[in-house]
């Protein structure tokens, strides 16, 4: 049971390293092209990870869960949206 936390920490560290590298490369290319409105582009480049997670959660809902009803669906997608927004801000 304790190995899960170490594995999650390792995955989180890899995520942060990849996000930092992608953001640095995106900023370099935008500034090299003399695009001085680079801030939002690089922010959304890093935050696009949360879009992938949300799209996967839609697939997971349709393919794997047996949920039905308005409240289950709204709670699932509401909490997933809040998690993805937090992930996007974190990245």
For residue 86, the enclosing domain spans: 2-90
Number of domains comprising the chain: 1
Q: Which residue has the tokens 């640095």?
A: 24
Contact 19, 49 (CB under 8 A): yes
pLDDT tens over the chain, length 91 residues:
788 899 999 999 999 999 999 999 999 999 999 888 888 888 888 899 999 999 999 999 999 998 888 999 999 999 999 999 999 999 8
Tokens of 61: 């809902």
59: exposed, middle or buried (Cβ count in 10 Å: 0-12, 13-18, 19+) = exposed
Residue 2 is classified by DSSP as T
In angstroms, the Cα distances linking 11 to 7, 14, 16, 21 are 6, 5, 9, 15
For 26, phi and psi rounded to 5 degrees?
-60, -40
Q: What is the pTM of this model?
A: 0.78
Tokens of 13: 């560290």
């Amino acid at each position: 049971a304790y190995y899960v936390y170490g594995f999650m920490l390792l995955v989180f560290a890899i995520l942060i390293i990849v996000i930092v590298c992608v953001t640095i490369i995106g900023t370099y290319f935008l500034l090299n092209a003399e695009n001085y409105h680079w801030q939002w582009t690089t922010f959304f480049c890093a935050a696009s990870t949360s879009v992938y997670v949300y799209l996967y959660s839609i697939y997971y809902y349709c393919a794997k869960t047996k949920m039905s009803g308005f409240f289950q669906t709204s709670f699932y997608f509401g909490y997933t949206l809040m998690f993805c927004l937090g992930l996007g801000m974190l990245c």
